[in-house]
Structure 1
Amino acid sequence: MYEEYILTLLQLPSVGKRTVSKILSYTNYIPTNIEEIREVFEKSKWHMKKLKIPESYEVYKAMESAYTIKKQCKERDIKIITTLNKGFPEKLKVIKNPPVILFYKGNFECIKEDKAVAIIGNRMPTGHGRKVAEKLGYIFGKEGFVIVTGLALGCDEYAHIGGLKAKGRNAAALPCSLDNIYPKQNKKLAQEILNNDGCLISEYTLGTEPFKGSFIERDRLQSALSKVVIVVETKENGGTMHTANFALEQNKKLYCYVPPKQYLETTQTEGNRNLLIYKKAFPLRNEEDIEDIKKVTKDNTIQINRTDILEKAQQISIQF
């Protein structure tokens, strides 16, 4: 019932998730037919002056599309949950521009797990960065953490490789629909995540290719799903910085790996330097810092000393 309603709204002309979120906040009942849906728009228009009330035939077409989408998802073993459903993760409801619907495959409990850490970074990291991402994935996977990424090439995939080696659970938010895994090189990795009690999620209906804005939308979910976000390597203006900024906006604990000096001066770690210099992220240097991260997932009140971050960043690094 909820799924059909939200899907119908999203199939209407000029209606996106932001509009749906507002409509849901202005009404407290679920319409069951065309006229009731139009009535919902009429009531919402009091608050949203530019909202266009759909014609009856448009609602009918949207309802047909919603039915088709739900049927196709069932055929592909893709589940649907909306913000109206019981069990929709609260941590996704409280962020800016929250998702109103999720398509998922696998163990959805991974998404609701509080003990989750996002391990992210460049698509073309240094050899050292790949090793660090895999090692961190293994360490946290072994400790029972859910490893969260955007399933991108590079640091993301190596974090999952490490998590899978540790027989841990993994979760990935995609910038496309679940029937259209991106990047295609990680299609096998996506299946391994599912085979090992993990989960894949997306906001997009079947057949949706990645588009420019979808990567940034995906990035906000990576952060929202995690208690802690760890940046392994990032360029100054790399896509990883979007997730890092979302982590700060969502008041998540943001950590940044401190590479050895010869890697700290490369293009791939320009973003690391900025995050550390401007004290936006806690430094991840050694096993002690990893233990701090574990503690943070259990107690939000823990305060970690940020002093002398740059000096420490130049002197100390994790040994892999």
Structure 2
Amino acid sequence: MNKNDAYLWLKNIGGISTKTIEKIEDEIENIEELMYLSDKEIYNLKNINLNIKENIVKYKSHSYLDSIKEKLYKKSIKYICINDNEYPNNLKEIYNAPKLLYYKGDISILKDTLNIAIVGSRKCSTYGKNCTKILSSELSTNGINIISGLAIGVDSYSHIGCMEGRAKTIGILGSSVDNPLPKQNISLSEKILENGGLLISEYNVNSSVIPSNFCNRNRIISGISDGVVVVEAAVKSGALITVEFALDQGKNVFAVPGNITSQMSKGCHKIIKEGAKLIESIEDILIEYNINSINNDKIGKNYDNISLSAESIVIMDAIKTEGSLHIDGICDYTGIEIKKVNSILSNLELNDLVVEMNNKVYSLNV
């Protein structure tokens, strides 16, 4: 048995966490020898829960290890250990780094590439959706991998936006890689793999999915990344938990500002006040890593190819001048009656030229 086998074996025994393995390693110089210890020697291990010792004794066999490997093989799941060269270098440096990761896809895409995490609300607004897709797509076009948690909302649009560019996207799961959650994102997980991306989890097949998995998952999202971008987040949210991990790990933290009346902006504004870098475009991110942006003639709509009425242009100019405007402000600014403004804004939204941020406040989708 080698060290990788020992980690795989132990991680599949009930109650054994990364910290438990570290406690065992504090007592046994070579953890790969654990399986060959007598039952008495195992029960004499210090600082280990009795139930865990009983489970180690119960599953102390090569046949059990072989059955684990067989399950992984049948499901086309690979695994990597912290002592392997392919293990992400950034992740090795964090506190409580996973001893073992299960994955599907190409693990090599994490090497020698800048990896940026994008996280945010599951209940993101249209503004949050568009900001996420634009940032993710443009970062990907500049060869930067995008990492997120495959949740609905900002996570999903992070992965989708990345696949519009040339880089790869990595989904970090709080469930096993053969059981991506939520279920509505199973097709997205398949597209990630089809596009040469990667799915990663520290949980093996048939593992129970409990709420703490997703908090633990967040340390891996920030750990693998070189920086974390937050797009829309409440003050109490999983996204801000990821930020806490990122700060502890010494990573750059970026935040997209939002509507001051939206609860989904409160978290972003909080961390901006606390020192996160406010970003308005990918250049605000790239400058931190001394990267020059690729001139790609503006990802998004080519406005020259869209036929607009004179009143539509007046309304767009008003929004551009003010940054964002409530519909009443648009009427006051342009002198156009509200019924007409409503109709024009609906048409502009259909063409992805403007987005409603919140409560009839509109901003340009640029």
Fold shared by both chains (TM-score > 0.5): yes
Shift of 1:155: 0.7
Query: C-alpha separation between the residues in 2 aligned to 1:21 and 1:7?
Result: 14
Per the alignment, in what secondary structure is the counterpart of residue 151 of structure 2? coil
Show CA shifts across 1:270-289 (max 9, x none). Answer: 1011112222x111124541
Per the alignment, in what secondary structure is the counterpart of residue 37 of structure 2? helix
Alignment-derived partner of residue 142 in structure 2 = 143
Query: C-alpha separation between the residues in 2 aligned to 1:201 and 1:72?
Result: 17
Q: Runs of 5+ in structure 2 lacking a partner? A: 293-321, 325-362
- Note closer, same or farther for the CA distance 1:91–1:79 as it changes in structure 2 (3 Å cut): same
Alignment-derived partner of residue 258 in structure 1 = 257
Per the alignment, in what secondary structure is the counterpart of residue 290 of structure 2? helix
Shift of 1:103: 0.3
Write out aligned runs for 1:50-89 (5 A).
53-54=53-54, 57-60=57-60, 63-89=62-88
Query: C-alpha separation between the residues in 1 aligned to 2:130 and 2:55?
Result: 56
Alignment-derived partner of residue 25 in structure 2 = 24
Alignment-derived partner of residue 164 in structure 2 = 165
Worse-matched range after superposition: 17-26 or 96-105: 17-26
Query: C-alpha separation between the residues in 2 aligned to 1:33 and 1:276?
Result: 48
Alignment-derived partner of residue 316 in structure 2 = none
Per the alignment, in what secondary structure is the counterpart of residue 79 of structure 2? strand
* C-alpha contact 1:27 1:44 (8 A) present in aligned 2: no
Letter in 2 for 1:73: L
Alignment-derived partner of residue 317 in structure 2 = none
- Note closer, same or farther for the CA distance 1:41–1:56 as it changes in structure 2 (3 Å cut): closer
Alignment-derived partner of residue 236 in structure 2 = 237
Query: C-alpha separation between the residues in 2 aligned to 1:87 and 1:37?
Result: 34
Query: C-alpha separation between the residues in 2 aligned to 1:120 and 1:11?
Result: 30
Q: What is the identity percentage for the equivalent residue pairs of Structure 1 and Structure 2?
A: 27
Alignment-derived partner of residue 10 in structure 1 = 11
1:274 aligns with 2:270: yes
- Note closer, same or farther for the CA distance 1:4–1:265 as it changes in structure 2 (3 Å cut): same
Show CA shifts across 1:64-98 (max 9, x none). Answer: 44322211111111001112334322322221111
* C-alpha contact 1:31 1:37 (8 A) present in aligned 2: no
Query: C-alpha separation between the residues in 2 aligned to 1:80 and 1:37?
Result: 28
- Note closer, same or farther for the CA distance 1:288–1:8 as it changes in structure 2 (3 Å cut): closer
Shift of 1:227: 0.4
Alignment-derived partner of residue 93 in structure 1 = 92
- Note closer, same or farther for the CA distance 1:230–1:50 as it changes in structure 2 (3 Å cut): same
Q: CA RMSD in A?
A: 2.8
Out of 275, 287, 290, the position equivalent to 1:292 is 287
Show CA shifts across 1:222-269 (max 9, x none). Answer: 00011010001101101111111111111100000123xxx2320111
- Note closer, same or farther for the CA distance 1:7–1:196 as it changes in structure 2 (3 Å cut): same
Shift of 1:18: 0.7
* C-alpha contact 1:89 1:111 (8 A) present in aligned 2: yes
Worse-matched range after superposition: 80-89 or 31-40: 31-40
Alignment-derived partner of residue 207 in structure 2 = 208
* C-alpha contact 1:69 1:205 (8 A) present in aligned 2: no
* C-alpha contact 2:254 2:285 (8 A) present in aligned 1: no
Query: C-alpha separation between the residues in 1 aligned to 2:252 and 2:38?
Result: 41
Alignment-derived partner of residue 128 in structure 2 = 129
Query: C-alpha separation between the residues in 1 aligned to 2:39 and 2:364?
Result: 59
Show CA shifts across 1:127-161 (max 9, x none). Answer: 00000100111011101111000111111111111
Alignment-derived partner of residue 311 in structure 1 = none
Query: C-alpha separation between the residues in 1 aligned to 2:107 and 2:205?
Result: 19
Q: Runs of 5+ in structure 1 lacking a partner? A: 298-313
- Note closer, same or farther for the CA distance 1:40–1:291 as it changes in structure 2 (3 Å cut): farther
Query: C-alpha separation between the residues in 1 aligned to 2:202 and 2:242?
Result: 17
